[in-house]
Structure 1
C-alpha cells in the first residue's frame, strides 16, 4: 500500500505539528526550573516525556484510523494524541493542570483521555495493551468495523501484560494491532541488555499472528505496513505485531543528562532526524511545492501557539473539586 500525495502531506502535517508542539511545551516546562533544575517548579510541574524523533510511528499508523477506532498510548504520548486528533487546546490545558483540560487538570501529560476520538494513555509501562485488546474484542463481538491499536515501547514488550494480552489477541483473532516503538532504550537500559531477542516482531509467531519490522523510521514504510495490517484486521483477519525502528532525540525525561548514551550516538541520531528528512523527500519527489509545505508549517505553528495561549489563560481547578470523580 503506497501513500498518495494527500496522505503524505497529512502525515507531514501530523509530524510537524507534534514537533513544534513539543518544542513549545519544552520551553514552557523549563520556566522557573532553572538554573537549578527542580521539576516541582513552573507552570508544568512533574516529569515530561517528549517524543521528538518518533513522529513517523504515530503519523504512519493513525492516518488510517477514524475517531471510532481505539488507541492506547504510552507515557510518551503527544505525537500519538496529535495524530489521533485529540483536541489540542484541551490536551494542553490538561498538561498545564487546568480545569479546561481533558480530565479537568487531574491527569497531566501521561494520563490523557479523549472519548471524542477514543484515545487514552497511561504512565504505567505496558498498561494500555490489555484495554486495547478488550476494545478489539468488543468491536468483534458487536460486528463493528473498527480496530484497536496499542502503542508501546520496546521495553514494555518484556512485561507480563504484553505476553498475556498478545496471547488472547491471537487466540480470539480480534482486530488489534500492537505497535512497538523501538527507540533502543527502556529509560536508560539499551535493548540488547534487556531483551532476549534482537527484534520483537519475531515474537509474533508465538501468538499466531504476523510480525513486521520496519527499519529506518520511515513514514512511508510505516504507512504501507500499518495500512495492510489495519485493513486485514477490519476484514476479520485478526491481529498484527509491528515493531518500528525509531529514534528518541531527547532524553527519557526532560532534563535527563543521557550519560548512558555512548559517545557520538546523540549526534548520530540527530543527523538522521526523520522530520527534515521527510520534508526534503516530499520536495525532491515533487509531491508538493515549497509554498504548500511552508503553508502547512505556518498553520501548524499557529495551532500550537493558540493551544499554549488557551492553556495559559484557562482557570485553575477550584479546591473544592479536589475530591470529585474520586472513588473511595
Structure 2
C-alpha cells in the first residue's frame, strides 16, 4: 500500500508542523534556565521530551486513522498528538500550564488528553498499552468500528505490561496495533545493552500476531506497514506489532548532556533527516514546486506561531483550581 500524492503532502506538512512546534518549544523552554540550567525556571517548568526526528512514526500511522480511532502515546508525545489531530492551540496552552489548555494546565506535556480525537499519553513507561487493549476490547464487545493504536519506545518492550498487553490482544483477537518507536536509546541505556533480540518485531511471533520491522525512518514505509496492520485490525484479523527504527535527534530530555552517546553518532541521523528526504521525493515524484513548498512551509509556521501566541496570551488558572477535577 502506497500513499497518494495528497497523503504524502499531508504527511510532509504535518511533519513540518511537529518540527517547527518542537523547535519553538525548545527555545521557549530554555527561557530563564540559563546560564545555569534549572528545570523549575521559565515559562515551561519541569521536564521536556522532544520528538524531533521521530515524525515518520506518527504520520505514517495516523494517516490511516479517523478521530474515532484511539491512540495512546508516550512521554514523548507531541508528534503523535499533532498527527492525530489534537488541537494545537490547546496543546500549547496545556504545555504552558494555562487555563485554556486541554486539561486546564493540569497535565503538562506528558499527560496530553484530547477526547475529541481520542488521544492520550502518559509519562509512565508502557502505561498506555493496557488502556489501548481495553479500548479495542470495548469496541469489539459493543460491535463498534474503530481500532486502537498504542505507541511505546523500544525500552518499554522490556516491561511486563508489554507482554501482558500483547498476550490479551492476541488471545481475544482485538483490533489494536502496537507501534514501537525504536530510537536505540532508553534514556541513556542502548538497546544493545538492554534487549536480547535484535528487533522487537520478532517478539510478535511469540503471541501469534504479525510483526513488521520498518527500517530507514521512512514515512512511506511506515505508511505501508501501518496500512496493512490497520486493514487487518478493521477486518477482524486481530493485532499487529510494528517496530520502527527511528532517530531521536535531541537528548532524552531538555538539558540532557548526552555523554552516553558515542562521539559523532548523531551525524548520520541528521544527514538522513526524514523531512528533507520526503520533500525531495515530492519534488521528484509528485511535481511539488518551490512555490508549493514555500506555501506549505509558511502555513506550517503560521499554525505553530498562532498556537504559541494563544498559549502565551492565555491566563493561568487560579491557585484554588488545583483542587478541582480531582479524585476525592
Displacement of 1:286 in angstroms is 3.2
What is residue 242 of structure 1 aligned with on the other side? 242
For residue 285 of structure 1, give the secondary structure of its aligned residue in structure 2: helix
1:4-43 matches, within 5 Å, as: 4-43=4-43
Structure 2 CA distance for aligned equivalents of residues 117 and 51 of structure 1: 20
Matched residues in 2 for 1:151 and 1:62: separation? 11
Structure 1 consecutive aligned stretches of length 4 or more whose deviation exceeds 3 Å: none
Task: Give the paired residue count.
Answer: 328
The Cα offsets for residues 223-245 of structure 1, whole Å up to 9 and x where unpaired, read as 01101110110010100000000
Q: TM-score, normalised by structure 1?
A: 0.99
1:186-224 CA-partner distances (Å, limit 9, x unpaired): 001000100011100010011110000000000000001
Instruction: Please say if 1:86 is aligned against 2:86.
Output: yes
- 1:322 Cα deviation (Å)? 1.2
Instruction: Confirm or deny: 8 A CA contact 1:59 1:83 kept in the other structure.
Output: yes
- Structure 2 residue aligned with 1:180: 180
How far did 1:265 drift? 0.3
RMSD: 0.7
Does the 8 Å contact 2:69/2:148 carry over to 1? yes
Q: Which residue of 2 aligns with 1:134?
A: 134
Q: For residue 2 of structure 1, report the CA deviation from its aligned partner.
A: 0.8
- The CA deviation at 1:293 is 2.0
Aligned to 2:283: 283
The answer for the alignment partner of 1:60 in structure 2 is 60
Per-residue deviation, 1:5: 0.2
Structure 2 counterparts to residues 181-260 of structure 1, below 5 A: 181-260=181-260
**CA–CA separation in structure 2 for the residues paired with 1:127 and 1:294:** 40
Asked whether the 8 Å contact 2:5–2:286 carries over to 1, the reply is no
Structure 2 match to 1:298: 298
Tell me the CA shift for residue 268 of structure 1. 2.0
Can you list the C-alpha shifts for 1:45-96, whole angstroms capped at 9, x where unaligned?
0010000000000000001000000000000000000000000000000000
- Conserved 8 A contact 1:86-1:117: yes
Shift of 1:41: 0.3
**1:95 aligned residue:** 95
- Whole-Å Cα distance in 1 between the matches of residues 242 and 155 of structure 2? 14
Once the two structures are superposed, what CA deviation does each residue of 1:247-294 show, in whole Å capped at 9, x if it has no partner? 000000011111101111022221111111111121122342222222
Q: Distance in 2 between matches of 1:264 and 1:227?
A: 35
Shift in alpha-carbon separation, 1:206–1:120, aligned structure 2, 3 A: same
Aligned counterparts of 1:290 and 1:141: Cα–Cα separation in 2 = 50
**CA contact under 8 A between 1:5 and 1:287: conserved in structure 2?**
no
Moved more, 315-324 or 238-247: 315-324
Moved more, 137-146 or 308-317: 137-146
Which consecutive residues of structure 2, in runs of 5 or more, have no partner in the other structure? none
Secondary structure, aligned partner of 1:288: coil
The equivalent of 1:3 in structure 2 is: 3
- Alpha-carbon distance in structure 2 between the residues aligned to 1:119 and 1:217: 23
